[in-house]
Structure 1
Amino acid sequence: MMLLVHLLMGALAVSAVAGAVTGAVTGAGRDESSAAYWHAEAQAGIAARLARRPAERARNVIMFLGDGMSVPTLAAARTLLGQRQGATGEEAKLTFETFPTAGLVKTYCVNAQVADSACTATAYLCGAKANQGTLGLSAAVPRWDCDASTDTSQHVESIAEWALADGRDAGIVTTTRITHASPAGTFAKAANRHWENDAEVRQAGYDPQRCPDIAHQLVHNYPGNQFKVILGGGRREFIPTSSLDEEGRSGRRTDGRNLIEEWQRDKVSRNVSHRYIWNRDQLMDSYSSPPQYLLGLFENNHLQYHLQANSSTEPTLAELTEVAIRSLRRNEKGFFLFVEGGRIDHAHHDNLVELALDETLEMDKAVATATKMLSEDDSLIVVTADHAHVMTINGYSGRGNDILGPSREVGRDGVPYMTLSYANGPGFRPHVNGTRQNVTAEPNYPPTSLK
């Protein structure tokens, strides 16, 4: 499996960033029937790339990760973007699709043909392929092997650790639990990605004192305890089962510890400014003058899907990204920031295609925010994915056909089919008398009812 990596850059080693145009529709209203139009567009693209003057070294590095963001996901998302703007859609471009450099990456694990978000996080953040389900460990450590994971010679360092060692700051932003596989790749050394709290470690038959859970590692272990910005979901991994969070939901820890309070006490002991926040209003309060250390946990579990969230209480990924950059760019030596659009993956797992595409567009807005805030003279932005999903684009519909609707054709059996469909997952309908069901006749059609 191969996925696209988009680079907005100067020199390839650790280099610069540029101001890309935000999700603009191109070609609409012009004479696309002329070959000269396409020749001119190609020449303009070449000229724009040649005009870039890359810096030799980047102070700031941001890695954007679209979890499960396959190539078909990009094609469908850009079409949806254009159609939301009233155009045919296919000609639209995501912000990061205007970046001057793109490539392909392989996404297998050492022991698995299809990668998961843990072994991939170890690969793209630490530079070493690993076993499926493991974090921050070499492939010498099997999954679920607590004892093997305690061998520090098998620990691999992340780019966040490299940044800290160089005197730069580091932070993580995600729409998932902050202890989920992708963000955990920046700081955790764990033989099982699911060991997000002490109860999970005990359930596997191990002592959390020997193999600390991922939330504990973030608060108490290096490098997590040095991260200046931690913004995401997952309060439940930090508080005990006997406690309720700010929204009345219980924790999952069985050791009786409140790691949020322990994070706060650690910052008090170090005499540094800090703040714990849990809603959008508090995030906006930190907009102009963030503290030295900022911990934001905005949901008990993952952040809500953007289309289903209360926009007055739930921050967007772009807002989280902006506050993180405002905080981290105060370090004159620079910073490393990891930003994940994590719920693209979750929506694909549940065959909720509009949600998956909207989450992709939300991540693109965060990329646009970053390109506006940082100079190409000293910053590098990388946008990539960790694995794909089995969403396909079907049929031969005409230009501008609703990307969320049925194909303009029907199958040989005379039954309509959707332009976007999945090869597995909960969307399957059993055939009746050897014939597919007509999904366009179902009561929850059309899918845009999610809006």
Structure 2
Amino acid sequence: MPGEETVLSFEEFPYVGLAKTYCLDYQVPDSACTATAYLSGVKANLGTEGVNGYVGYGDCLASADPANHVNSVARWFQLAGRKSGLITTSRVTHASPGPLYAHSSHRDWESDTDILLAGEDPNICPDIASQLIDNAAGQGMSVIMGGGRGKFVPNNVNDISGSPGQRSDGRNLVNEWLAQKSGDGVFVSNKVGLDAVDTSNTEYLMGLFGYSHLQHNLDKPASQPSLAEMTEAAIKVLDNANGYFLFVENGHIDTAHHMTTAVKALDETAEFAKAVEKALELTDSEDTLIVVTSDHSHTMTLNGYQHRGHDVFGFGDVGDDGKPYASLSYANGPAAFKQDPVTGDRYDLTNDDLSDKDYMYPSYVPTFMETHAGDDVAVFCKGPWAHLCTGVIEQNLIPHIVAYAACVGEGRTSCDCSSHPSHSTSAAPSTTPEV
């Protein structure tokens, strides 16, 4: 089918809404404050995660105050006696998964060394990796998969990649995690190891498949599992009669956009859709709510007057200066530095291979990296109580919808009203445990 008519797996979900993504203090957000919103139900300040608005960016003392901590929906599930897990193609300590288990005033304080370099004390404001091991929410995670081994290994020990770890405190957090699980935990570092996991008899699974972020799909080695493969393994470990919560992120949609490598960004979106499709195959929409959304938008746009079926990785049209322009372009980014070496005019794209996976698409304003944008983002929902996702909503409503559907958390839930005369059993099931 032509691209205009093709649909991704989640585009067939019956309910769609829009979420407003601003931080408390910024119009255009970052991934830390937005992840805090859609995972913990409160808006936060730029660069902070797992904390409320009383914590400013880099305010170590404020982030150390438990009164400023907010629990994530994963923790709500844990407190209800249900399993939880996280998957990402980024470091598991990165800005989006971090708010699931950590409380930090600075998204980049992923290891104790990062905090020391900032002139702060990791004994006062613990690093994010250590919180995954030490905090109750982190310890309660049944599945942890992604990248970031360097944040878990001491700097006097070489990681399996051959590079020294990044921790200054001498802690090997992987070994600590295994000791914590007392024989019930399985650690894997590559696809072969993941494929060998007996998911039906595994209580805890940690897979760290890269020293830092995982490789983009178009670059990844055979030793790195795909997002869909990680999703399948996670669901099989988590699946039980009591229900579970699973967070699945393709952080490389974001990283590719930041470098204006649109081919990779769209490929990663397709990879994410495959993970959603796998989740649909392994679950039942009668008792499983699936929510697909984004933390924020980017500045990429599709422009020009191309005919139907036109290759989106091609030229849109010819500008008034007689030079072609790309169908895809960005408002800002590193490629804006390109100009004709002789005249200084707009660079001529004629001989460029726009289909190359590493091609940096043109942008208007020169920036080191492309920035986020402030658009509302789509929220696609399928399953019990999915209709609550409709309309234009605040982003921090999303976890409350999840909690309402799954009967977890401290607020009112669907279980509270399941016996009301106006609600039939089919319309308001007493338990909708899986999300």
TM-score between both structures, scaled by the size of structure 2: 0.80
1:315 to 197, 220, 225: 225
- Aligned to 1:382, the other structure's residue is in SS state strand
Residue type at the aligned position of 2:31: S
Q: Distance in 2 between matches of 1:180 and 1:166?
A: 26
Cα distance change of structure 1 residues 378 and 371 upon mapping to structure 2, 3 Å threshold? same
2:345 to 435, 439, 444: 435
Q: Distance in 2 between matches of 1:433 and 1:449?
A: 28
Which position in structure 2 is the counterpart of 1:235?
149
Residue type at the aligned position of 2:292: V
Residue type at the aligned position of 1:323: A
Deviation digits for residues 80-131 of structure 1 (CA, Å, limit 9, x no counterpart): xxxxxxx321100000000000000111111111100000011000000010
2:30 to 95, 116, 125: 116
- Aligned to 2:70, the other structure's residue is in SS state coil
Cα distance change of structure 1 residues 449 and 263 upon mapping to structure 2, 3 Å threshold? closer
Which position in structure 2 is the counterpart of 1:415?
323
Deviation digits for residues 352-403 of structure 1 (CA, Å, limit 9, x no counterpart): 0100000000000000000110001111000000111111111000001111
Which position in structure 2 is the counterpart of 1:404?
313
- Aligned to 1:149, the other structure's residue is in SS state helix
Q: Distance in 1 between matches of 2:356 and 2:4?
A: 18
Q: Distance in 2 between matches of 1:434 and 1:151?
A: 54
Q: Distance in 1 between matches of 2:125 and 2:75?
A: 20
TM-score between both structures, scaled by the size of structure 1: 0.77
**Where does the alignment leave 5 or more consecutive residues of structure 1 unmatched?**
1-86
Q: Distance in 2 between matches of 1:287 and 1:376?
A: 26
Which position in structure 2 is the counterpart of 1:274?
185
Contact in 2 for aligned 1:287/1:326 (Cα 8 Å) = no
Which position in structure 1 is the counterpart of 2:385?
none
Cα distance change of structure 1 residues 288 and 186 upon mapping to structure 2, 3 Å threshold? closer
Which position in structure 2 is the counterpart of 1:392?
301
2:287 to 378, 383, 387: 378
Greater RCO structure (CA 8 Å; 6+ sep)? 1
Q: Distance in 1 between matches of 2:164 and 2:274?
A: 33
Contact in 2 for aligned 1:440/1:446 (Cα 8 Å) = no
Which position in structure 2 is the counterpart of 1:447?
355
Deviation digits for residues 164-217 of structure 1 (CA, Å, limit 9, x no counterpart): 011100000000000001001111100101110001111222221111100000
Cα distance change of structure 1 residues 449 and 353 upon mapping to structure 2, 3 Å threshold? closer
**Where does the alignment leave 5 or more consecutive residues of structure 2 unmatched?**
360-435
Cα distance change of structure 1 residues 234 and 122 upon mapping to structure 2, 3 Å threshold? same
Q: Distance in 1 between matches of 2:271 and 2:203?
A: 27
2:49 to 135, 142, 149: 135
TM-superposed CA distance for 1:430, in Å, is 2.7
Residue type at the aligned position of 1:402: D
**Aligned alpha-carbon RMSD (Å):** 1.4
TM-superposed CA distance for 1:257, in Å, is 1.1
Structure 1 residue 347 corresponds to structure 2 residue 261: no
Which position in structure 2 is the counterpart of 1:284?
195
Q: Percent identity?
A: 48
Aligned residues: 357
Which position in structure 2 is the counterpart of 1:105?
19
* Structure 1 stretches of at least 4 aligned residues deviating more than 2 Å after TM superposition: 287-290, 430-435, 446-451
- Aligned to 1:348, the other structure's residue is in SS state helix
